[in-house]
Structure 1
């Protein structure tokens, strides 16, 4: 809070994730291959993704540098837990390949001496998709598995050029069911992705940056991922997604209209005691009781900023706020403009840097209801910096006192 000099105010952020929603994720990353060069990033990619998904309220089953047997064990655990989930998610980083249009993920002990080896040493992507499709509503798949793969080349040579093995992955057909499916590839069909020189691959770096952004749908997040990867690789790699979703999937929903609440217990109790006294009509109050709370309340009231003018505040008449950024504008004008500050600390600018009416659906009647709160509890204007500034809330309170005219 600007200028309050108090460390008593904090934001209680309301995240509107349904209480009953079940989110289950399987995250696998393989770097240390026994029969191929080590990949620098997949394990760190998968670990970072696992951490991110846990923060997004997923139950995460994860495994790193797994053999075929260990991979099958993790998939079996996932298959049991994911049944009936609202959102089922699978993320894989490591080697993958396609043969005759079928996609395979490679555990660290895969050798692939011939095509027969695929059934015994690799894991078919369709097999995992079947496990995550049982009574689930939404299925999200992210495959950072298009890296240049020497095992695919070796398999093609062993087959005398007959094999159609390729390091790039094939398009995955989506079956109908539930609210739909999104399958995202690090690169387009039959294309190879880059492992990158940083801590994470270009695809995972972008995915970590955008998955779970507040109030951003997963399809919009993938658009941003594609843009980031395309720029980071100078146009050499373009992620690709096959999407069949019947609803917007937002992994991190923030209610921008939620009440903003005093976070400090002392400040909250001060306001609570004040409200209790006003509600206890006719009740006798012993002299001197709540004196400390009243003194603290009065001290807070002294922090409420004053408007530049004492003139009555009307809805469509310009106001002298005493704040150059909004001076000379009316309430009606301001609620049609853009906010000055984020309503939630750390919220991505793309979410809040829009016309106020688009988020709040403000009407004169609704705004009056909000303004009445500042009359009932005048210090509530100090709870948090308003997107249009604290002085705007002060003006709303004066407007409400004037009957919201």
Structure 2
């Protein structure tokens, strides 16, 4: 866990003490997989108008992946020679990794069904340009396939590309297009996921905000706790479709032989209790306690859990929670409304920390999340099973709404 994340939870840690801190550090620790990522972003093109978001997209993705315990090899606004050098560094580093990941934001194009990424110095003036100025996507896929178990590829490279038009017009290259072509996954590609910002041959939006619609959604979901990468990409596709009013639909091709979860939260993991949490004997000697029951009959570990659970707000009523019955939450903003009503309403808080109000304020929750009873039940079961790790976090409809969802799941989502 990074220092800034610990700082944001400072109030919680001070109240719960060092035992709770040790608990949370353990719960959020990533598994001991070796993860290596290549992240490239190009905005300042020398022979085409600059793009607003790719470098910001790539930088944000690099930071997110570092927090998910990836070794990140990154490059921004790179020429062809510098791109090749960065890929070479990645190729050496990624060999034998459990998870290999590639993210690219910038200009790309396809020619006769083959995809290319464009460094910032690409001009594409004649038919030889692709060989000397562009980078074949297949070349990068080859580098990340050596002795790796899982390969994840994210291409935010379907933007309107004037260089593709130049190549098609002046060099007479048939089939040159801004939209990327489908990358088929053959039998030897088991363990691979390829995600495009848009469907094959469709253009993607660069976005008017800080990030493109695709990268915004990817940043929102790729590190979600206990969510498989497949489910995360389903959520990304839904968010992009809604954010662009149906004009852009991400395309995902996968052949994963097992579930991939980038952020596992294991509430049953053994706790690490440091020396600072060990109780002192009456004589003042340093008696270490690794979880043995104290005078109260509870271990330090259990006491830490109980402290955190006491911070989860209570509902004003112990009545059973039903999907379409009014609920006494104990929160005037939502009291007397049912779950069915609230998911059709508007959020009270930002769904993502720091998100500008113009993005979420006044929007309807079901439009943002495609909530329905079945999908909400799955989410509620996660709240019920992982109460300490998720119920303390804010929700667009308030924390008490999450508490009610967990209770609804415990009652069978009726």
Q: Normalising by the residue count of structure 1, what TM-score does the alignment of the two structures yield?
A: 0.68
Question: Aligned equivalents of 2:196 and 2:382: distance in 1?
Answer: 39
Partner of 1:18: 31
| Offset of residue 16 of structure 1 | 5.8
Question: Aligned equivalents of 2:194 and 2:52: distance in 1?
Answer: 24
Deviations 1:260-311 (A, max 9, x none): 6778x65x222xx46xxxxxxxxxxxxx7359x9xxxxxx97xxxxxxxxxx
Q: Is the 8 A contact 1:187 1:238 kept in 2?
A: yes
Q: 2:389 aligned with 1:344, yes or no? A: yes
- CA shift in 2, pair 1:351/1:45, >3 Å: farther
Q: Is the 8 A contact 2:221 2:235 kept in 1?
A: yes
Partner of 2:115: 103
| Offset of residue 236 of structure 1 | 0.4
Partner of 1:221: 232
Q: 2:51 aligned with 1:32, yes or no? A: no
Match of 2:66 among 44, 50, 54: 54
- CA shift in 2, pair 1:45/1:100, >3 Å: same
Question: Aligned equivalents of 1:50 and 1:168: distance in 2?
Answer: 24
| Offset of residue 158 of structure 1 | 1.0
Q: Is the 8 A contact 2:180 2:202 kept in 1?
A: yes
Question: Aligned equivalents of 2:254 and 2:383: distance in 1?
Answer: 33
- Structure 1 residue runs without a partner (length 5+): 275-287, 294-299, 302-322, 330-335, 359-405
Q: Is the 8 A contact 1:137 1:177 kept in 2?
A: no
Match of 1:230 among 238, 241, 249: 241
Deviations 1:188-207 (A, max 9, x none): 00000000011110000000
Q: Is the 8 A contact 1:96 1:145 kept in 2?
A: yes
Secondary structure of 1:183's counterpart equals strand
Q: Is the 8 A contact 1:95 1:105 kept in 2?
A: yes
Q: 2:157 aligned with 1:163, yes or no? A: no
Count of equivalent residues: 309
Moved over 4 A (4+): 4-9, 259-263, 323-329, 345-358
Over aligned residues, Cα RMSD in angstroms? 3.7
Secondary structure of 1:343's counterpart equals helix
Partner of 2:327: none
- Structure 2 residue runs without a partner (length 5+): 1-10, 288-294, 297-313, 321-380, 396-400
Q: Normalising by the residue count of structure 2, what TM-score does the alignment of the two structures yield?
A: 0.66
Partner of 2:207: 196
For the pair shown, the structure with the greater C-alpha radius of gyration is: 1
Q: 2:269 aligned with 1:258, yes or no? A: yes
Secondary structure of 2:177's counterpart equals coil
Partner of 2:283: 289
Question: Aligned equivalents of 1:337 and 1:51: distance in 2?
Answer: 26
Question: Aligned equivalents of 1:325 and 1:258: distance in 2?
Answer: 32
Question: Aligned equivalents of 2:315 and 2:78: distance in 1?
Answer: 61
Q: 2:260 aligned with 1:249, yes or no? A: yes
Q: Is the 8 A contact 1:138 1:178 kept in 2?
A: no
- CA shift in 2, pair 1:324/1:158, >3 Å: closer
Question: Aligned equivalents of 2:152 and 2:259: distance in 1?
Answer: 12
Partner of 2:53: 41
| Offset of residue 355 of structure 1 | 7.2
Match of 2:96 among 80, 84, 90: 84
Using the TM superposition, name which of 151-160 and 47-56 deviates more.
151-160
Q: 2:115 aligned with 1:117, yes or no? A: no
